[in-house]
Structure 1
Amino acid sequence: MAEKEQVKPLASAPFRSDLNEEELSMQFNFHQRNYLKCCGCFTTLLLIPAVVLLILSFTAFHIHHPQITMNSITVQQLHQDENQTLRDSDIKMSLVVDISVKNPNVASFKYSDAVTRVYQEGTVVGEARNPSGKIKAKSKVLLNVSIDVSVRRTGGMMKMGINTRIDGRVKIMGVIKKSVVPKMNCSMRFDVLTKAFQEERCGQNVMI
């Protein structure tokens, strides 16, 4: 019986370490570029809405301060104690102050309290409060404030002041929120003989 021919193993190809390292480097660089591209795209997607919101916050979504204006102030009733001298007596008045509040924002302005105070020489001589409410975007509301005032007569013309303060907040799209407290300060003179207010001067002040 013929001897079986021995099968010689094929000679293995020489190991080329330099080629394997080059291939690995190319694959690594390829994956790294893809990773950087994905990160760049993801970052861009995050930055676009952030930039848009930032631009809107300085333009359309910029929160403006509500403006308070005193349209008129009238005396409904006036009573003076006749038992006292003309120049030194207590005067009781019922005043009606007509105030308008304008909301220039693109969102509603909600306020919790509106307080109007009357001053004489720095002392509060009358106060009235309006209930909480809401002013729609780009709208204006009128507030009729009735105040009972008791002042000390100091002559034919008396210096007085009126202050209105409204605590509120503006919220845009549930993202931009800001608390603002618009205030109006007015100074004037009251003529006892004509029962009218004169030389009214008002200014705005906003607390943030």
Structure 2
Amino acid sequence: MKVNSGRGRKVCLVVTGVVIAIVLLIVILAMTVFKAKHPVNTVDSLRLQDLKVSLDIARLSVDLNVTLDVDVSVKNPNKVGFKYSDSSAQLNYRGQQVGEVPIPAGEISSDETKGFNLTLTIMADRLLSNSQVYSDVISGSLPLSTFVRMSGKVSILGFIKVHVVSSTTCDFAVNLSNRTVGHQECQYKTKL
């Protein structure tokens, strides 16, 4: 009986050692190779698609409708794919939301950059109500910012699912003379 007891103890120690080694390996991989990194959102281009201006004499107001084509790319620098739910992108002028467009749910593979072509109709009444818009138009540069928030899940090794919320705010200026996007400065936040 003592022989089996000693053999059972050895088997138990070996199994425990293997389990500890696997757990350590998973922890090391999770802290290094699979460590979550910020998805990088970039406004690649911004084009004026439609501009309609009309004067409503009865109400003494100006009606303005502006539609923009915005190309946004999202790079997933992680070593695992990111499956995200329905999201949205907002366009802000001096802290006030002037446009919003939905981003349908999807998936971005590891190290993939996915492009989105978004059509955004600006809430012109909000834009025109800001007294600074006239001085910005005269200067030829319109300061804007985008806010993109994506939430979803990352699957590590096929069975560990981690909920991720990533948000990006990018400040940039649109050169009104040639309708191009100037220097972008972005801030990223990721919550696990």
Counterpart pick for 2:83 among 101, 110, 113: 110
5 Å-filtered alignment, 1:14-163, equals 33-34=6-7, 36-82=9-55, 91-149=64-122, 150=124, 151-152=127-128, 154-157=133-136, 158-163=142-147
The CA distance in 2 between the partners of 1:80 and 1:159, in whole Å, is: 21
2:179 aligns with 196
Long gaps (5+) in structure 1:
1-26
Q: Is the 8 A contact 2:170 2:187 kept in 1?
A: no
* CA offsets 1:9-52 (integer angstroms, 9 cap, x no match): xxxxxxxxxxxxxxxxxx86x77654543332221122121122
The CA distance in 2 between the partners of 1:78 and 1:113, in whole Å, is: 29
Deviation of the 1:112 alpha carbon: 0.5
Long gaps (5+) in structure 2:
137-141
Deviation of the 1:168 alpha carbon: 2.0
Deviation of the 1:70 alpha carbon: 1.3
Deviation of the 1:73 alpha carbon: 1.2
Paired amino acid for 1:113: D
Paired amino acid for 1:71: D
Q: Is the 8 A contact 1:182 1:204 kept in 2?
A: no
TM-score normalised by structure 1 residue count = 0.71
5 Å-filtered alignment, 1:145-184, equals 145-149=118-122, 150=124, 151-152=127-128, 154-157=133-136, 158-184=142-168
**SS at 2:184's partner residue?**
strand
Deviation of the 1:197 alpha carbon: 5.3
Q: Is the 8 A contact 1:75 1:195 kept in 2?
A: no
The CA distance in 1 between the partners of 2:185 and 2:30, in whole Å, is: 30
Aligned residues between the structures: 177
The CA distance in 2 between the partners of 1:92 and 1:191, in whole Å, is: 19
TM-score normalised by structure 2 residue count = 0.76
- In structure 2, do the counterparts of structure 1 residues 41 and 186 end up closer, same or farther at CA, with 3 Å as the change threshold? closer
The CA distance in 2 between the partners of 1:106 and 1:53, in whole Å, is: 14
The CA distance in 2 between the partners of 1:98 and 1:112, in whole Å, is: 20
* CA offsets 1:140-179 (integer angstroms, 9 cap, x no match): 1100111000121631414432212222221112333222
* Percent pairwise identity: 27
Larger Rg: 1
Higher relative contact order (CA 8 A, sep 6+): 2
- In structure 2, do the counterparts of structure 1 residues 207 and 89 end up closer, same or farther at CA, with 3 Å as the change threshold? farther
The CA distance in 1 between the partners of 2:160 and 2:38, in whole Å, is: 14
